[in-house]
Amino acid sequence: MINKQRLRRLLAPKSIAVFGSRGADFAIRESLAMGFTGPIWSVHPKRDELMGIKCLKSVVDLPQAPDAAYVAVNAQSAIETVAQLNKMGAGGALLYASGFSELGDELKALGMERQQRLLKAAGDMPIIGPNCYGVINALDKAVLWPDQHGCQPVDKGVGIITQSGNIGLNMTMQKNGLPIAYMFTMGNQAQVDIATVIDSMLDDPRVTAIGLHIEGIPDLAAFDAAARRALRLKIPIIAIKTGRTSAAAKIALTHTSSLTGADRLFDALFIRLGIARVNTVPEFLETLKLLTIIGPLAHKHIASMSCSGGEAGMMADLIDGRDIVFGAITPVQKEATLATFYNGEQVDNPLDYQTYMWHKRDQMAATFKAHMAANFSATILILDWPNNATANPKEWDTALLALADAAQAGSHKAIVLASMAECMPPHAIDACISSGMVPMIGMDQCLTALNHAYTIGQAFAASTPAPLQIRNINAPGADLPALCEAQSKHALNQHSLAIPQGKTATNLVQVINAATTLGYPITLKAVGAQLAHKTELGAVKLNLKNQMQLEQAASALFALSDTLLVEQMVQGVIAELIIGINTDPLFGQYLVLGAGGVLVEILQDAQSLLLPTSKGEIKQALTNLKCAPILMGYRGQAPADIDAVVDAVMAVLDYSQKNPVYELDINPLLALTKGAVAVDALIQLGQQ
What DSSP line would sit under 476-536, residue for residue?
A: P-TTSPPB-HHHHHHHHHTTT-----EEEESSHHHHHHHHHHH-SSEEEEE--TT-SSHHH
CA torsion sign for 219, 220, 225, 231 is positive
Residue 256 has pLDDT above 60, yes or no: no
CA distance 42 to 526: 77
Q: 86, 62, 82: which is closest to 70 by C-alpha? A: 82
- Band (pLDDT 50/70/90 cuts) for residue 516 is very high
521 or 340, which is more confident? 521
**pLDDT value of residue 354:** 73
Measure CA of the first residue to CA of the last residue in the chain; give whole Å.
Answer: 28
* Calpha distance 183→169 (Å, rounded): 9
Q: How far is CA 605 from CA 49, 393, 525, 584, 624, in A?
A: 64, 51, 26, 20, 9
Nearest CA among 627, 507, 508 for reference residue 573: 627
Task: Please state which of the ranges 186-190, 396-400, 611-615 shows the lowest mean pLDDT.
Answer: 186-190
CA separation (Å) from 241 to 222, 264, 381?
17, 11, 31
User: Tell me, what's the pLDDT at 216?
Assistant: 84
pLDDT at residue 535, rounded to an integer: 62
**CA-based angle 217:176:417, to the nearest 5?**
110
CATH of 573-685, one of 3.40.50.1000, 3.90.1170.40, 3.30.1340.30, 3.30.470.20: 3.30.470.20
Q: Say if residues 154 and 181 touch (Cβ distance below 8 Å).
A: yes
pLDDT of 253 > 60? The answer is no
Residues forming a β-bridge with 207: 157
The region of weakest confidence among 53-57, 76-80, 250-254, 368-372 is: 250-254
**Mean pLDDT to the nearest integer, 383-392:** 93
Q: Determine the pLDDT at residue 600.
A: 80
Most distant CA pair in the chain, distance: 101
Calpha distance 420→445 (Å, rounded): 11
Question: What CA–CA distance (Å, rounded) separates 567 from 522?
Answer: 6
What is the reported pLDDT for 252? Answer: 35
Query: Between the CA of residue 69 and those of 58, 84, 138, 146, what are the distances in Å?
Result: 13, 11, 17, 13
Q: What is the mean pLDDT of residues 471-498?
A: 91
Pick from 169, 254, 162: nearest CA to 213: 162
For residues 409-420, average pLDDT:
96
Residue 686's pLDDT is 94
- pLDDT tens-digit profile of 425-480? 999 999 999 999 999 999 999 999 999 999 999 999 999 999 999 998 998 987 88
Neighbours of 435 (CB within 10 A): 16
- What is residue 250's predicted lDDT score, i.e. its pLDDT? 39
pLDDT in tens, 158-203: 999 998 889 999 999 999 999 999 999 999 999 999 999 999 999 9
pLDDT at 128: 96
What is the pLDDT at residue 658?
A: 95
To 10 degrees, what angle do helices 309-318 and 443-461 make?
50
Nearest to 492 by CA among 555, 581, 373: 581
Q: How far apart are CA 272 and CA 621, in angstroms?
A: 12
Confidence of residue 342 (pLDDT cuts 50, 70, 90): confident
Domain 501-568 top-level CATH class: alpha beta
Residues contacting residue 468 through CB under 8 Å, at least 6 positions apart: 220, 221, 224, 269, 272, 587, 610, 611
What is the per-residue pLDDT for 491? 97
Check whether 549 has a pLDDT greater than 50.
yes
State the pLDDT at residue 534.
Answer: 64
The mean per-residue pLDDT over the stretch 494-505 comes to 95
Mean pLDDT of all residues belonging to the chain? 92
Does 260 have pLDDT greater than 90?
no
Tell me the mean pLDDT in the region 28-47: 96
* Residues carrying CATH 3.40.50.720, the chain: 4-244+279-290
Calpha distance 346→367 (Å, rounded): 13
Q: What pLDDT is stored for residue 602 in this prediction?
A: 80
Please check whether residue 238 is in contact with residue 559, taking contact to mean a CB–CB distance below 8 angstroms: no
Cβ burial, residue 245 (10 Å; 0-12/13-18/19+)? exposed
pLDDT at 532: 60
Give dist(CA 217, CA 234) in Å, integer.
22
Element (H, E) at 228: helix 220-233
Q: By C-alpha distance, which of 154, 126, 150, 151 is closest to 140?
A: 154
**Strand 588-595 to 606-610 pairing:** antiparallel
Q: What is the pLDDT averaged over residues 659-664?
A: 95
Cα dihedral angle (23, 29, 35, 39), rounded to 10 degrees?
80
596 within 8 A of 574, measured Cβ to Cβ: no
Percent of the chain with pLDDT over 70: 96
Predicted confidence at residue 255, as pLDDT, reads 41
Confidence at residue 636, expressed as pLDDT on a 0 to 100 scale: 83
Q: Residue 563 in contact with residue 486, Cβ under 8 Å?
A: yes
Give the relative orientation of helices 443-461 and 281-294 as an angle to the nearest 10 degrees. 50
Residues 101-112, mean pLDDT to the nearest whole number: 87
d(CA 199, CA 210): 11
Predicted pLDDT of residue 66: 98
Topology of domain 4-244+279-290 in CATH is Rossmann fold (3.40.50)
Domain with CATH 3.30.470.20 in the chain: 573-685
In the beta sheet, which residues pair with residue 61? Answer: none
The answer to whether residues 489 and 678 touch, using CB atoms and an 8 Å cutoff, is yes
Q: What is the dihedral of CA 84, 88, 91, 95, to 10 degrees?
A: -10
CATH for 296-461 (3.40.718.10, 3.40.50.261, 3.40.50.1220, 3.10.20.30): 3.40.50.261
From CA 351, how far away is CA 364, in angstroms rounded? 13
Residues 505 and 511 sit within 8 Å (Cβ to Cβ): yes
**Region of residue 564 (phi > 0: left; psi between -120 and 50: alpha; otherwise: beta):** beta
Query: For residue 601, what is the enclosing H or E element?
Result: helix 600-603
Residue 56: its H or E element: strand 53-56
Helix axes 547-557, 508-518, angle to 10 degrees: 140
Tens digit of each residue's pLDDT (9 = 90 or more) over 61-74: 999 999 999 999 99
Dump the DSSP string for 447-468.
HHHHHHHHHHHHHHHSPPPPPP
Answer whether 13's CB lies under 8 Å from 66's CB.
yes
- In degrees and rounded to multiples of 5, residue 135 shows phi and psi of -135, 135
Compute the distance between CA of residue 174 and CA of residue 177 in angstroms, rounded to an integer: 8
Q: Are 179 and 156 in contact (CB under 8 A)?
A: yes
CB neighbour burial string for 389-407, b if at least 16 within 10 angstroms, e if fewer: eeeeeebbbbbbebbbbbb
pLDDT tens digits, one per residue of 112-168: 999 999 999 999 999 999 999 999 999 999 999 999 999 999 999 999 999 888 999
Least confident of 144-153, 417-426, 595-604: 595-604
Determine the 3-state secondary structure of 404 from DSSP.
helix
Q: Facing residues of 325 across strands? A: 301
> Where does the chain hold its CATH 3.40.50.261 domain(s)?
296-461
